[in-house]
Amino acid sequence: MLRKLVVLIAVLSLLAVSCATKTQTGAAVGAGAGAAAGAVIGNQSGNNRTGAVAGAVIGGAIGAAIGRRMDQQEKELRQIEGVEVTRPSEGEIEVRLTSDILFDFNSAALRSESRATLRELATTFQRYSDINYIEVDGHTDSVGSNDFNLDLSKRRANSVRDYLVDQGVASRYIVARGFGEAQPKSTNDSAEGRQLNRRVEISIKAREDATASE
């Protein structure tokens, strides 16, 4: 049993080292999964220290795998026309769509021409359903009352979320939120600035229970 454990640790160590630059992306997720696996190994071997070491190595390997998956997902999202993709952190991808493309003025009903873009996003999200947790955030400019803008941003975020779910994205791993005019990207004193502020942002993060099957 101990010999098998040593071999397992050696193999996982090589995997983790070969992808060292990617482990940052899934570090937190990998640590949690590795700790769980280490506890099992420690219990079976009767040595908690051995389990902790194995857990750390397993966590690093899982983190590296999640990192590779996130990097690949970012590349695929950048191929979709009509969206702006950024990487705020190693463990997060952000997709921005302007509300002018998605909706008519003061409406939360998706425009027909915007649905093709959302279908492409949904197709990509489904390929990474083993790791994704998705937040859909609606934002507005400052034209109109605070209450109206908050409600509009919520309804728009829900419209995007519901359409993505209709296209096959798992409903339990996607949430919608509205922020109204509270988080502007630019000034509301110009038409260009207001257009930037009218937006829907989709944040993709690795779930805590992700295992990154490759």
Reported as a single tens digit per residue, the pLDDT across 75-102 is 999 999 989 999 998 889 999 998 888 9
Entry pTM: 0.74
Q: Which tokens belong to 43?
A: 């219990």
> Containing H/E element for 88?
strand 84-89
d(CA 103, CA 131): 29
Which residue is it, tokens 């071997």?
45
3-state helix, strand, coil in the chain (%, to 5): 55, 15, 25
Reported as a single tens digit per residue, the pLDDT across 107-164 is 999 999 899 999 999 999 999 999 999 999 999 999 999 999 999 999 999 999 999 9
d(CA 123, CA 6): 40
Map out the domains of the chain with their CATH numbers.
Answer: 2-69 (no CATH), 78-206 (3.30.1330.60)
Assign 208 a pLDDT band (cuts: 50, 70, 90): confident
Residue 58 confidence (pLDDT)? 52
Residue 17 confidence (pLDDT)? 38
